[in-house]
């Protein structure tokens, strides 16, 4: 498991930015296609966890502007050093800013653990399908 702290700020109404207490990116090679962003708010005792595709993070880090079609998670660079993350849910929207270098370093560590295009290596697809359909492999 790879867990890396990342500095993020949330943009409030009026454009003011507020640093978030504890944020981290996590990657588990057992779930090789996914990364998780966790944001903890110590003041209110809350935690928000977002799971997204590792490829979404990689594509966002390579993108210099927001994509036209957006989903629940949208990521892009704001210049060479800054990262913009938008999280949308039925409960609201959060706009986060952070350092792209931290996310780049995290992504490179995930590729050392499970190289790009090798996510299925070591996975017994027949056994996984048997679990899904309740059969024995």
- Against a cut of 0.75, is the pTM above it? yes
Query: Considering Cα of 51, then 27, then 98, then 5, what sign does the dihedral take?
Result: positive
- Structure-token pair, residue 36: 């998780």
pLDDT in the model for residue 136: 60
* Domains of the chain by start residue, with CATH: 2-133 (2.30.31.20)
Contact between 106 and 4 (Cβ < 8 Å): yes
- pLDDT tens digits, the chain, 137 residues: what are they? 999 999 999 998 888 898 998 999 999 998 888 999 999 877 778 888 999 999 999 999 998 888 776 778 999 998 889 999 999 888 888 899 999 999 999 999 999 988 876 666 666 667 767 878 876 65
Please state, in angstroms and rounded to a whole number, the distance separating the CA atoms of residues 106 and 60.
14
Residues with Cβ < 8 Å from 57, sequence gap 6 or more? Answer: 35, 75, 103, 107
């Amino acid at each position: 498991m790879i867990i890396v702290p990342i500095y993020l700020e949330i943009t409030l109404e009026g454009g003011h930015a507020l640093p978030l207490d504890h944020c981290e990116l996590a990657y588990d090679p057992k779930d090789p296609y996914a990364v998780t962003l966790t944001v903890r708010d110590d003041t209110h005792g809350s935690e928000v966890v977002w799971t997204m595709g590792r490829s979404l993070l990689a594509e966002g880090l390579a993108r210099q502007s927001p994509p036209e079609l957006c989903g629940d998670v949208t990521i892009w660079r704001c210049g060479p050093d800054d990262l913009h993350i938008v999280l949308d849910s039925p409960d609201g929207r959060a706009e986060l800013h952070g350092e792209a270098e931290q996310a780049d370093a995290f992504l490179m560590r995930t590729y050392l653990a499970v190289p790009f295009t090798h996510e299925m290596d070591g996975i017994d697809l027949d056994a996984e399908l048997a679990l899904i359909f309740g059969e024995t492999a």
